[in-house]
Chain A
């Protein structure tokens, strides 16, 4: 398996622009997580999905952020409008529920976002 795939790997944009980050989870995994990592706040969980349904979005910073999972193999995290303080590395992770080692979360390589 190719692992969790994220695109783009790097994104530079200007303040006010819309940014869309993409994630393809590991095939067969039914949980998908979006995290954000900054020097100041570390690694934070933004939202997670189970079977394409958002379960907990309490970590989403504000209304400018939205996440969707239209099917089991694709998710997006959108920021509109983007602001310089959104600059961070955004990670997507997936896991397979089961109560055993399958619950391990597998992380993608991340998208490095810079908002100017």
Chain B
């Protein structure tokens, strides 16, 4: 799986948009970009995923560059409850033995402050 690079920490004011970057310059054509987050003392939680098109759901938006070498997770109106570690992961979705394997890096610690 491709390696990802994320800033170790970021701050965001409550109510503002949080934009979390991720570099995955070695991503392959069949690898998806996944975002998970982990709130303190809880298990990781799925946020969103995409292949090459921008995606949006009730939690966030995912912007993937045209060359797919980087992406940005956007939380449009961050709240204090969004304070968490955010993981950017690239993974192949296949039915083979590599299916579903998520390799978590160190992630970005997002702190939302009042």
Contact = CB atoms under 8 A, between A and B. Distances in A.
A complexed with B? yes
Interface of A: 4, 31, 33, 42-45, 48, 50, 55-56, 91, 93, 95, 97, 99, 101, 103-110
Contacts of B106: 42
Given A56-B97, A56-B98, A104-B46, 16 more contacts: A33-B100, A44-B104, A48-B100, A48-B101, A50-B99, A55-B97, A91-B43, A99-B93, A103-B93, A103-B100, A105-B100, A105-B102, A106-B46, A107-B45, A108-B43, A109-B43
Contacts of A43: 38, 44, 87, 104
B100 A107 contact: no
Interface string B5-48: 00000000000000000000000000000000010001111100
Nearest to B34: A104
Contacts of B87: 43
A107 B93 contact: no
Contact of B101 (A45, A99, A104, A110): A45
Nearest to B107: A42
B52 to A, nearest CB: 16
| Majority DSSP secondary structure for residues of B touching A | loop
A44 B103 CA distance: 7
B95 interface: yes
Given A55-B97, A97-B95, A99-B93, A45 B43 contact: no
Contacts, number: 50
Interface of B: 38, 42-46, 49, 87, 93, 95, 97-106
A93 B49 CA distance: 17
A42 B43 contact: no
Nearest to B93: A103
Nearest to B38: A43
Contacts of B93: 99, 103
Nearest to A100: B93
Nearest to A107: B43
A93 B43 contact: yes
Contacts of A31: 99-100
Contact of A110 (B43, B45, B97): B43
A56 B100 CA distance: 11
